[in-house]
Amino acid sequence: MLLAALPANAETTAPPDADVTPPQPNILWIMSEDNSKHYLRHFDVHGVATPAIESMAAHGITFDRAFSNAPVCSVARTTLIMGCYAPRIGGQYHRALQRVSLAPDMEMFPVYLRDAGYYTTNNSKTDYNVLPNEQPWDDSSKKASWKNRPDPETPFFHVQTFPQSHESRLHFKLEALDKPTSFSQADVVVPPYLPDTKLTRFTAAYYRDQISKIDELVEQTLAELEAAGQLENTFVFYFGDHGGVLPRSKGYVFETGLHVPLVVRVPDQYKKMVDRDLGSRTPGFVSFIDFGPTVLSLAGVELPQGIDGQPFLGSDLSAAEVDARDFTFSDADRMDEKYDLVRAVRVGDWKYIRYFEAQYPNSLNNEYRYKMLAYQQWRDHSRDASLPPEQLGFFQSRPVEALFDLSDDPDEINNLATDKEHGGKLTQMRRLLSEHLKETHDLSFVPESVFLRQGSGNPVEFGNHQAAAITMYIDTANIALQPWDHATTQLITSMNSGDPWVRYWAFNAASSMTASDEAARTAAADDATLVQLAERAMLDPQPLVAARAAEFLAIIGAMDPREVLVRCVKRSHGEAEVLQILNIATFIHADGHGEFAIDADAFEVPFRVGPQSEISRRLRYFNETKAAGRSKP
């Protein structure tokens, strides 16, 4: 039951310790796009000074371990607005080919604030992958402002997004390198997985200059609140909308893609609502599923059923309880035209990453990524086999799982998954993630094309109905966690399954296991039963299953898959299905340097394709890289 809204004074003169009940507080979110915590000196010694954000921290709380649950904007913002894991509610794909519906009893959380008397505004980015039931905003536009509320005593919740730190700011041309940067390029610390070049240093320094611009905008926003007499009535959150933006950050579940800066300024009138000293820092884990519940808690609104997060601030919440929180889950799926299903969990300083399509390198082409010169240069350098392993790894097939000790390896380059000393920790983290995926009915284990046809009308209900099947698909995919000689019997059984998506995941598991393991690849090629099953599956009635079988045979060197992929595209029935087959073709194509370079003109897409569609991006990439002998953005 929602609490009734109380009138809010525009300017109260009661001291913070007066024995009076203050009105509902105002709440303001300031979001900067695409930046992890690593660019701010307040969080990282190699970052830039941000005096306005630091002043907020001096009058509030710094959250040293705050995380987006996804490393890209539409999925992260869907998580924020719902307080739910995106793969549970069908909002995990960036960008959504089709925005999905919410269950009838689910709402975007500002709806509950509006019901409680708040004026809710958003300026102006939404980017949600789900359709609202009730409208969450009184105004969502470039003119939206808390200043426009109908009465100065009406409490407000306002979201302000600043794009000056967005990835697109790094889509400059080479001529830009002739200009100076305010942040010293000599002081840039280049992470070991990136080449230490003039371009890398310029990009990193230039981006820190963009963060300085964000800080100036934060200062302006605080000044406007103070001028209106609202600063000490308003909880002000500053945070990044996910990580980024140098290569190997945005779009990836590394810390640089997920670990965001978060500072909450606590207004004088509401210090009693927070069980902390001003200027303090907390190591407690908070993530985007928790932000909406926290706003509702501060507003005195009862939390609705069906959300995944929990508040980290509020009158009845102890600092000790929040400080003890020590885990976060994260997810990455299709990003624009690039499919790559990855899940991760962090517990304390231990990080576990599960690559469900481990055959694909992290570098698998994405048109928007490679508009950045730093990405292009790194890709060019990767042709040099003498490059350090930590820099080459981005361009190679991955292990099926990775384990990192962040206390010793903050850059996540030393995979401990095969280290027997950490076998117990690996098993623990693996089990924790697998249980989470099954408990949340992770919808990515149903191919996107199938989900859009069958489950987009009510994703949560669809996940509940498909819970047993999703568990079976996860278990099939996890055959890849076993040694090859232990896995073959289960692979053969699953490849013979009557469920096409068990077959799909079995062939994917086989590809994941063999792409980076020469011994497994040789053993698979010598296994006549597996090869015969895959050859038969290339005629599977499901084009995606046939394409997965062809991918596996190509990886073990048993066939040229191109004719099968062309046939699968022609038999497909929708954009998601075609796009996923073209994703396999992109892997085979290998930037035009692979054995089986793809000719875009060979594909006959059985429906009209727009020039700016994700499919067109893939076809354009094939033709450009085949003609040039190298990939272009």
User: How does pLDDT run across 531-588, given as a tens digit for each residue?
Assistant: 999 999 999 999 999 999 999 999 999 999 999 999 999 999 999 999 999 999 999 9
Count CB atoms within 10 A of the CB of residue 177.
16
Flag whether pLDDT at 9 surpasses 70: no
Give the whole-number percent of the chain exceeding pLDDT 90: 95
Quote the DSSP letter at residue 512.
H
pLDDT for the residue 22: 82
pLDDT for the residue 485: 96
pLDDT for the residue 19: 57
* 245 cis-preceded (ω within 30 degrees of 0): yes
Name the pairing type of β-strands 139-140 and 119-123. parallel
Count CB atoms within 10 A of the CB of residue 201.
21
pLDDT band at 3 (very low <50, low <70, confident <90, very high): very low
Quote the DSSP letter at residue 143.
T
**Are 584 and 565 a contacting pair, CB within 8 Å?**
yes
Supply the angle between the helices 543-555 and 575-589 in degrees, to the nearest 10. 10
Mean pLDDT in the chain? 95
* Least confident residue range of 19-33, 145-159, 355-369, 585-599: 19-33
One DSSP character per residue, 108-132 reads -THHHHHHTT-EEEEES----SEE-
pLDDT for the residue 54: 98
pLDDT for the residue 5: 33
Average pLDDT (165-178) is 98
pLDDT band at 628 (very low <50, low <70, confident <90, very high): low
64 vs 38, 114, 205, 264, 350, CA distance in Å? 11, 31, 23, 12, 16
pLDDT digits (tens, 9 = 90+) for 225-274: 999 999 999 999 999 999 999 999 999 999 999 999 999 999 999 999 99
pLDDT for the residue 629: 52
pLDDT for the residue 10: 38
Average pLDDT (316-345) is 98
Taking Cα atoms as reference points, which of 459, 461, 440 lies closest to residue 101?
459
Average pLDDT (323-337) is 98
Torsion angle of C-alpha atoms 564, 565, 569, 573, degrees rounded to 10: 80
Flag whether pLDDT at 155 surpasses 60: yes
Task: Please indicate whether residue 234 or residue 20 has the higher confidence score (pLDDT).
Answer: 234
Flag whether pLDDT at 15 surpasses 90: no
Rounded-to-integer distance, Cα 333 and Cα 33, Å: 19
Q: Where are the beta strands (DSSP E) in 288-387?
A: 327-332, 342-347, 350-355
pLDDT digits (tens, 9 = 90+) for 55-79: 999 999 999 999 999 999 999 999 9
Flag whether pLDDT at 473 surpasses 90: yes
The SS3 call for residue 471 is: helix
pLDDT for the residue 6: 32
522 Cβ contact partners less than 8 Å away, ≥ 6 residues apart: none
Taking Cα atoms as reference points, which of 31, 88, 91, 67 lies closest to residue 288?
67
pLDDT band at 201 (very low <50, low <70, confident <90, very high): very high
Taking Cα atoms as reference points, which of 136, 133, 82, 83 lies closest to residue 110?
136
pLDDT for the residue 491: 98
Count CB atoms within 10 A of the CB of residue 497.
15
pLDDT digits (tens, 9 = 90+) for 95-131: 999 999 999 999 999 999 999 999 999 999 999 999 9
